[in-house]
Structure 1
Amino acid sequence: MNPKRKWYNNWRLISLHAWIVLMLITSSMNGFDGSLMNSFQSLDQWENYFHKPEGGKLGLLNAIQNIGSLAAYPFAPYLSDGLGRRGAIWIGAVIMLVGVGVQAGAYSLGMFIGARFCIGFGLTFAANASPMLVTEIAYPRYRPQLTSLYNSLWYSGNIVASWTTYGTQHIATTWSWRIPSIMQGIPSAFQFALILFAPESPRWLVSKGREAQALKTLAYYHADGDEQDPLVQYEFEEIKASIKLDRESKRNVGWKSLVSTKGNRRRMLIIVAIAWFSQWSGNGLVSYYLNKVFDTIGITSSTIQLLITGILAIWNLFWAVLASFLVERLGRRFLFLTSAAGMLLFFTLQTICSARYAITQSQGAAHAVIAFIFLFYAAYDLAFTPLIVSYTVEILPFSLRAKGFNVFNFTISVALIFNQYVNPIALENIGWKYYIVYICWIAFELGFLYFMIVETRNLTLEEISAMFDGTDLKEKIQHAVPAAAEVRTDDLVDEKASA
């Protein structure tokens, strides 16, 4: 492809990006659910129909989707590696559609809980495969931004759920919550109908011995169908060489390999940490229990609660998407450290204002809490929305990507379940004082990120591997890959840094 041509001037890249959007909306499905339960708790129709669940029962309602996700984790990487990325997404979509149908038609709390378990179970398969497929088929120059957009689009589903529920709150019947429940299935319906027509991962195809198909896919989408294009040839040969070396060394085979070497242990420590941090930085209080936070500062109107939730979702999407497009310009390490420092500052100020409201009942303090929630999320969205997925898949080699990413998702589910059970109980018993726990934890996060996050901007895959493994893998792959002097530097550097 002519390097001076942009993606919007090339219809094959346009079609590739359209397929990538189909994969990115998996995150929208997840974000829809995250806001849905928060919005339902502000709906009198939903609360009255299910007899106002509180305490442990409310915690179960919010946690059950993640319990369903946990149940699917043992199978997800085998599905992604065995049937392919597309097949895993399709099976996940089918299971989620069943769950959405049951949830929309639920007539008892048990039925509603069962439906959410089913949604979580299916979501695991789609969420394991989707970002990997984005990473593995995207055009090199746009891969970091597109992979970062995956988790950022969590907020697109969040926005639809928030504003749909804001609109349906005026429906006096159960359709006020059944309509948003039905809309939750729209992303899965598109994936069910279309995903099997999307291109499969060239890396997965090579790993299964289907090299001709892999080369054809790379050429069709990355070089207008020219299989002899220097970039395509380099990509193809690099993929073959990397997979061959992994198989020969056997250091990246099986679950044990995740911790069998010093480099892999460091990878997994970083991945588990950022996954946990992404849910245990105080954001869980807002994502799932915003109405409870509002109660602590005297904002009890369901209309105002839903309005603020909807505006916050738009605010979050803006900052997350902006950070996604700046990931190569500013670098991963800068964004992570700036994000953690900002969260620590604004969550501390939020806690101070919450305490002042509790003591003085000052309306000014209550309004300040809302302002600092927005500022806290702007800081959070600089790194912990766009980067946690893209950084994870970037530092994992292909042979470990499905299993390592599964560990990432498993860690998030465990953190969510813990939060969803503990947060409502802690807020009910100690109110704003619970925020102090998060202040201490965010301070720890900042220190961890400073010492552990490795900058990967503008680095090749071999250089990233060398940083973690301390091996001569770079030289081995360069020896295995034919000379490609004609490959354009701007495309090749992006390809290696993001593959």
Structure 2
Amino acid sequence: MSNVPGAFAHIPNDLTTGGGKWWKNAGVLKLNFFISVVYVAQALNGYDSSLIGGFQALPSWKAALGNPSRSAIGIMNASFYIAGLLTAPIASYVSDRWGRKWCIRYSALAALLGTILGSIAGVDGADGYGLFTASRVIFGSGISFSLMISPIMLQELPHPSQRVVIAGLFNANYAVGAFLAAWVAFGCSYISNAYAFKIPYILQAPMALYCLIAIQFVPETPRWLMSKGREEEAMAFLVKYHGNGDPQDELVLFEFQEMKEAIREEKERHQDSWSQLFATKGNRHRLAIVFLIVSCQNFSGTAIISVYYTQILTLVGITGAQKQTGINAGLTAFTCVAAIIGATFVNRLRRRTMLMGSWAALILVNVGFVVSAARYVQTGATSAAYTNVVMLWLYDFCFFFVCGPLFFSYQTECLSYSVRAKGMMIWGITAKVISVFNSYVNSIAIGAIGWKYYLVYTCTLTLQLVCMYLVAVETSGYTLEEIAVLFDGENSTAPHVEVAQYEQSTHEKKKVGDAQVVDVSATSSKV
């Protein structure tokens, strides 16, 4: 292992030193197509989340559910996250025991069943509110499986030269899904009957069905295969997808040895136990980053925008289903652009710079949002209302610029393999707890104290920025195995594989099943 960031990029490989284009590399092209299945799962999450905010502007949806109160809507939304809270530990166990793909399978199946139930809400004689709430429970139980495990797959599957960008694009697909849902909801807002919400809801089914079928063809991650002693399959994966079929590819051989040694050392030190997750200074630091990112992601004020934006617009005098859904449709397009722009900068900016810079900008926008809302309430000025909408758009832009590329990938890459699923389980549970609070409390708080509620987020955003400065670690340029050194120092389980060995042309080879690997056991040195 080399402690120099980006050292792996000097190891001979078509995409590192060979100057090849990924779309001309058959192995990487096929792998990236498989990865797109995970993207569709996140787009489905974004689509669904945006729908609920849009439905609250539709009289037909409220009528189908028996005109529920704000509290009832809050309970319904909270049930989605409570279900995810209960299933998060199961997702972690399934992922480590039977593989990452099973979590995507269940998520897609739950989305399909939830869509069917929600689509029949409001049918004559049926309990509209009860059916739609049951739909949210089933849907939510599956989303936690997808949200927890998808970031892990996007760290463990891609070619190392593409890992950061591919992982960074994950949440951009949430914005894409939200964009599609917002425009579908806007178009259907002109329908006066129950199909105004049924059509957008039913359109989730094709995405869920695609994920359910397509995930069967996605390979398991090489690190999971190796952790189960299936080294031949792990090597075959690396050869096929990272080495474009070349069993003597230098980078493939390096990756294999690096993964093998890291997992072996973690097992020898019993790093895969729950007690170890809290026992070492390095792991406690990792958990601090998990809690920091999940709080930034879920307690920054954006949850109100995504789920209760209709109430926000009503506060500043913007009413009517067409106006509210139209503004939301434009907003989702804007946030989609923000997430994509953020993904293009993730390899150009350092992690800490991107996190703290975006959060400082978000605080400034939050202040502008609060001031413009207060100004409208006091004066009723149209200019204050329009300024508030602009601030709302900038709020989401600043958030998605950093959330898109980092809030699903940063904490995942900081977690070592043995605690990755467990750490993401803690992330998932914490996210659901905060989301339950957001779903129930936000609606009531906005109705009770209006714009003043955003002062709470002014305080939390400031505290989060301070924590970023104190806790965030710079991981730019390192491989997943090398990042362990940043947390554990000399006690790291990171493998001691010398990069220089793989920059040479001659190797002593040995067979691992049908695949070939380099024997470096006699010459490896610590750095």
Give, in angstroms, the shift of residue 462 of structure 1: 5.0
Match of 1:272 in 2: 291
2:63 match: 48
Considering only CA atoms, is the larger Rg found in Structure 1 or Structure 2?
2
Structure 1 residue 54, shift from structure 2 partner: 2.0
Distance in 2 separating the partners of 1:475 and 1:34: 39
Q: Distance in 2 between matches of 1:482 and 1:185?
A: 51
Residue in structure 1 matched with residue 376 of structure 2 by the alignment: 357
CA separation in 2, counterparts of 1:257 and 1:118?
A: 33
Instruction: Compare 362-371 and 192-201 and name the one that shifted more.
Output: 192-201
User: Which has the bigger relative contact order, CA under 8 A and spacing at least 6?
Assistant: 2
What is the rounded CA distance, in whole Å, between the counterparts of 2:65 and 2:43 in structure 1? 26
User: Which of 312, 337, 349 is the aligned partner of 1:293?
Assistant: 312
Question: What is the TM-score when the length of structure 2 is the normalising length?
Answer: 0.89
What is the CA distance between 1:471 and its match in structure 2? 2.3
Residue of 223, 229, 235 corresponding to 1:209: 229
Map of 1:165 onto structure 2: 185
Determine if contact 2:27/2:245 at 8 Å carries over to the other structure: no
Q: Sequence identity, in percent?
A: 33
Offset, 1:280 = 1.0
User: Distance between the aligned counterparts of 1:359 and 1:28, measured in 2?
Assistant: 40
The aligned amino acid for 1:329 is R
Amino acid of the structure 1 residue aligned with 2:502: A
Question: Structure 2: how far apart are the matches of 1:183 and 1:257?
Answer: 44
Q: Aligned ranges for residues 297-308 of structure 1 at < 5 Å?
A: 297-308=316-327
How many angstroms apart in 1 are the aligned matches of 2:220 and 2:57? 42
Partner SS for 1:111: helix
- 3-state SS of paired residue (2:332): helix
Which letter maps to 2:460?
A: W
- 1:121 & 1:461 partners in 2: Cα distance? 29
The 5-angstrom pairing of residues 363-402 of structure 1 reads 363-402=382-421
Structure 1 distance, partners of 2:206, 2:277, is: 36
Structural mapping, 1:24-63, within 5 Å: 24-63=39-78
> What residue in structure 1 maps to residue 467 of structure 2?
448
Question: Please, which of 187, 196, 219 is the counterpart of residue 207 of structure 2?
Answer: 187
In the alignment, which of 25, 29, 35 is matched to residue 20 of structure 1?
35
Partner of 1:97: 112
Indicate the residue corresponding to 1:243 in structure 2: 263
* Distance in 2 (alpha carbons) for counterparts of 1:474 and 1:68: 36
Report the AA paired with residue 208 of structure 2.
S
404, 412, 433: which is aligned to 2:452? 433
Give the drift of 1:475. Answer: 7.3
Alignment of 1:465-480 (within 5 A): 465-473=484-492, 477-478=496-497
**2:169–2:343 contact (8 Å) kept in structure 1:** yes
For 1:164 and 1:402, how far apart are their aligned partners in 2? 35
Change in 2 beyond 3 A, CA 1:211/1:467 = same
In 1, the alpha carbon distance for the partners of 2:357 and 2:481 equals 27
Residues 375-433 of structure 1: CA deviation (Å, up to 9, x unaligned) = 12221122223201110111011111111111112211111111111111111111111
Aligned with 1:152 (options 172, 183, 192): 172
Q: Which residue of 2 aligns with 1:491?
A: none
CA distance in 2, matches of 1:364, 1:319: 25
d(CA) in 2 for partners of 1:189, 1:61 = 25
Residue 314, structure 1, aligned to residue 333, structure 2: yes
How far apart are the structure 1 equivalents of 2:356 and 2:494?
32
Tell me, yes or no, if the aligned pair for 2:340 and 2:404 is still in contact at 8 Å: no
C-alpha distance in 2, partners of 1:325/1:187?
26
Give the secondary-structure state (helix, strand or coil) at the position aligned to 2:171.
helix
- Pair 444,467 (structure 1): closer, same or farther in 2 beyond 3 Å: same
Residue by residue, what CA displacement relative to the aligned partner does 1:238-277 show, whole Å, maximum 9, x if unpaired? 1110000000011x22222221111111110111121012
User: Which structure has more helix as a fraction of its residues?
Assistant: 1
**Contact 2:358/2:399 (<8 A) preserved:** yes
Match of 2:525 in 1: none
Contact 2:339/2:400 (8 A) holds in 1: yes
Question: Partner of 1:83 in structure 2?
Answer: 98
| Post-superposition offset of 1:160 | 1.2
Q: CA deviation at 1:348?
A: 0.2
Matched, 1:485 2:503: yes
Hey, what's the Cα distance between the residues in 1 that align with 2:344 and 2:268?
Answer: 37
Shift of residue 482, structure 1, vs aligned partner: 9.7
C-alpha deviation, 1:434, in angstroms: 1.1
State the partner residue of 2:273. Answer: 254
Rounded to whole Å, the distance in 2 between the matches of 1:32 and 1:276 is: 22
Provide runs of 4+ in structure 1 moved above 6 Å.
Answer: none
Residue 37 of structure 1 contacts residue 288 of structure 1 at CA under 8 Å; is this kept in 2?
yes
The answer as to whether partners of 2:160 and 2:479 remain within 8 angstroms in 1 is: no
Residue segments in structure 1 that go unaligned for 5+ positions in a row: 488-499
CA distance in 2, matches of 1:118, 1:321: 30
Q: Contact (CA 8 Å) 1:46, 1:174: kept in 2 or not?
A: yes
Distance in 2, Cα, partners of 1:473 & 1:82:
25
Partner of 1:69: 84
CA contact (8 A) 1:339 1:384 kept: no
Q: Distance in 1 between matches of 2:417 and 2:457?
A: 35
Equivalent residue number for residue 118 of structure 1: 138
CA gap 1:268/1:292 in 2 versus in 1, 3 angstroms: same
Q: Is the 8 A contact 1:80 1:128 kept in 2?
A: no
Give the CA deviation at 1:477.
Answer: 2.5
Counterparts of 1:230 and 1:396 in 2: how far apart (Å)?
26
Instruction: Pick one of 440, 449, 453 that aligns with 1:421.
Output: 440
| Equivalent in 161, 185, 189 of residue 141 of structure 1 | 161
Preserved contact between residue 262 and residue 493 of structure 2 (Cα < 8 Å): no
CA drift of 1:463 comes to 4.5
Unmatched runs of 5 consecutive residues or more in structure 2: 1-12, 123-127, 506-527
1:354 Cα deviation after fit: 0.5
CA distance in 2, matches of 1:351, 1:328: 33
**How big is each residue's C-alpha offset from its partner over 1:137-185, in whole Å with a ceiling of 9 and x where there is no partner?**
1011111011011122111111111111111112222111111111123
From the superposition, tell whether residues 210 and 463 of structure 1 become closer, same or farther in structure 2 (CA, over 3 Å): closer
Q: Which amino acid aligns with 1:158?
A: A
C-alpha root-mean-square deviation of aligned residues, in Å?
Answer: 1.6
**Stretch of structure 1 that moved more, 433-442 or 361-370:** 433-442
Q: Residue 462 of structure 1 contacts residue 473 of structure 1 at CA under 8 Å; is this kept in 2?
A: no
Equivalent position of 1:338 in the other structure: 357
Q: Secondary structure at the match of 2:300?
A: coil
Residue 346 of structure 1 contacts residue 376 of structure 1 at CA under 8 Å; is this kept in 2? yes
1:289 to partner: Cα distance? 0.4
Q: Name the SS of the counterpart of 1:483 in structure 2.
A: helix
Mapped contact 1:202–1:217 kept (Cα < 8 A): yes
1:403 matched residue in structure 2 = 422
Aligned to 2:198: 178
Q: Is the 2:96–2:224 Cα contact (8 Å) retained in structure 1?
A: yes
